[in-house]
Amino acid sequence: MFHLHLRILTSALVRFLLIVYFSSLGEGARVRGFWDPTSYQPVAVFAFHSNAQSAGYVYGNITTRENSSPVSATSKATLVLLDDDTWSDQFHSIEEDDYNGTPCSVMQTVFKNCQDSQCRVDGAMAQSIPCTIGQPSEETTCHNSLPAAQFALPVYNINVPRLWHLSLVPCYCNQSQTSNCTWVNSTNENGELNYDIWLVNGNPNSTKTDFLYYQLSYESQYVSIILITYIILYLFFLLVLSCGHRGHSHTIIRVFIASILLEWLGISLHFLHLAIYTFDGAGILPVKHFGVVVDVVSQCMFMALLLLLGRGWTVTKVHLEHKAFLVVIVMYSLVDVGLTVTRLITTDPVTTINDNLSWETLVVLGLRLFILLWFLYELHLSYLQEAQLTRQQFYVVMGSVYSLWFLYLPVAAVVVSQVVPPLWQYRTYTGITVTADFLSYAVLSYLLWPSRGVVSYRYSRIPMDDDLSLLDYDSI
């Protein structure tokens, strides 16, 4: 049974990867695309963190598109890199405004003096673009140009992790009238521009880089270690579970193992994206998103399993009453999956570090609390109907442990978003969720272990009108 489920899921995964491979989108370390310079455009958000011997770098190429309108010799736009404090103070509101020259006035405030094509002030850097095809940017005297890169912006003094915003601005510095820089609107002078930009933690010329964080923004570093740890633990867990339940093909066990397999698949897809991202700076974002959806389906299956046990199925009752509750579970699952897909589609991976408390997430957390109350109500009714002490204790343990499981996600989402620093939220939230889910599966596997005899795996061979109390649980 275990091997059959594994083959089916593996086959589905291979087909899915073939479909999404050619349509994959980058997430941050390497950003590629084109820009019609009529408005301010955010390009990437990246958290740099290195040490005294190294530096973060933003480098790449920005050129005019072959089929775009000609670009005059004097026309320019600007690539600007700002730390989070400067960006929040000056540029935060530009995204919501219609373009009316605001970016140029902000550039005038941030970069008051500009003597060459690269402007530098504390927490801000600007690079003139576009670059001539096949040639480095003019007057790049602040550093040695990197091979095959037209420009490079080194980010020094970043012992403390800092979040930086990379943007394209339709303005250029005009020094013809005054010795200081006057930022001029260039929206009517530029054609479409191609950009291919890398953001890395470390020096691209150095051979001594830690591949675990070189391509990754600080908040994503070492998350892959957490995921691979639980991928291995789940494989071992599934092996033990399949051996322990050999010969038992009850629906309860099939749903339980299927839920664990989906959880393992979701974590594996997340890890696959990060593993590829570690090497190419892009990854396969649809694979990560599909893993998130698979994880949601796994959570919904596990909730359905808990509700079935809470209603006493195979513990106190031989058959289910009021099976309409299964319709409610299916509707909840569809809503949960739908809201998750909506959040993934509407969240921009280029400019968003963490989105735990989007409105879609809040709705899902509210529904989860509703399922918790329903679960406790069903447990209470089953406990009152049960006369055997062992099975009463089973309900008590179920209520105690899985009340915490239902609550951990809302509590973790709120606490992490409000208490944990932004650059630690992703790895903290990931560590909490995968650990809590693994422990919840481990506890239920103990409660359902055949030698405990609390749940009957043999009742399906007995007429439905037989008394469940006649079953010899101790002999299982």
Indicate the range of 222-236, 242-256, 315-329 predicted with least confidence. Answer: 315-329
Reply yes or no: is the peptide bond before residue 463 cis, omega within 30 of 0. no
Q: How confident is the model at residue 259 (pLDDT cuts 50, 70, 90)?
A: very high
Domain boundaries, the chain: 2-22+219-456, 30-201
Q: How confident is the model at residue 266 (pLDDT cuts 50, 70, 90)?
A: very high
**Cα(279)–Cα(7) distance, rounded to whole angstroms?**
28
Please report the beta strands in 36-181, taking only residues with DSSP state E, as ranges in sequence order: 41-48, 56-64, 77-83, 118-121, 124-129, 151-155, 162-169, 171-174
**Model confidence at 384: pLDDT above 80:** yes
**Cα(174)–Cα(196) distance, rounded to whole angstroms?**
26
Q: Could you give the percent of the chain with pLDDT greater than 90? A: 18
Q: Please, what is the Cα angle at 281 between 276 and 284, to 5 degrees? A: 45
Q: Show the tokens assigned to 215.
A: 């391509």
The arithmetic mean of pLDDT across residues 251-276, rounded, is: 92
**Model confidence at 249: pLDDT above 50:** yes
pTM of the model: 0.79
Q: How many CB atoms lie within 10 A of CB 322?
A: 7
Per-residue pLDDT at 225: 92
Indicate the range of 1-10, 172-181, 309-318, 417-426 predicted with least confidence. Answer: 1-10
Most confident range, picked from 14-18, 75-79, 161-165, 223-227: 223-227
The arithmetic mean of pLDDT across residues 258-275, rounded, is: 94
**Model confidence at 334: pLDDT above 70:** yes
Which residue is associated with the tokens 């299916």?
A: 330
Ordered strands of the 30-35 beta sheet: 30-35, 193-201, 56-64, 151-155
With contact defined as beta carbons under 8 Å apart, do 469 and 316 qualify? no
Indicate the range of 23-37, 183-197, 227-241 predicted with least confidence. Answer: 23-37
Q: How many CB atoms lie within 10 A of CB 281?
A: 20
Q: Nearest 5°: phi and psi at 121?
A: -135, 175
Q: Quick one: which of 35, 32, 61 has its CA closest to 191? A: 35
**Cα(128)–Cα(153) distance, rounded to whole angstroms?**
11
**Model confidence at 226: pLDDT above 90:** yes
Q: Show the tokens assigned to 287.
A: 């694979």
Ordered strands of the 162-169 beta sheet: 41-48, 162-169, 77-83, 124-129, 118-121
Q: What is the pLDDT of residues 278-317, one digit of tens each?
A: 888 888 888 999 999 999 999 999 999 998 888 877 776 6
Q: What is the pLDDT of residues 443-475, one digit of tens each?
A: 999 888 877 666 665 433 333 344 434 333 333
Most confident range, picked from 80-94, 99-113, 146-160, 233-247: 233-247
Q: Mean pLDDT over all residues of the chain?
A: 76
DSSP designation for 144: P
**Model confidence at 212: pLDDT above 80:** no
CA atoms within 13 A of residue 57's CA, in its CB half-sphere: 21
Q: Report in angstroms the alpha-carbon separations of 19 from 6, 152, 304.
A: 20, 35, 31
Q: What is the pLDDT of residues 26-45, one digit of tens each?
A: 345 788 888 877 778 888 88
Q: What is the pLDDT of residues 94-141, one digit of tens each?
A: 654 444 557 788 888 888 766 665 677 777 888 887 765 444 444 433
The arrangement of secondary structure in 2-22+219-456, i.e. its CATH architecture, is: Up-down Bundle (1.20)
Alpha helices by DSSP H, listed for 22-139, are 84-90, 102-110
- 81/192: higher pLDDT: 81
DSSP designation for 72: -
With contact defined as beta carbons under 8 Å apart, do 256 and 448 qualify? yes
- 53/80: higher pLDDT: 80
Per-residue pLDDT at 323: 67
Q: Could you give the percent of the chain with pLDDT greater than 70? A: 71
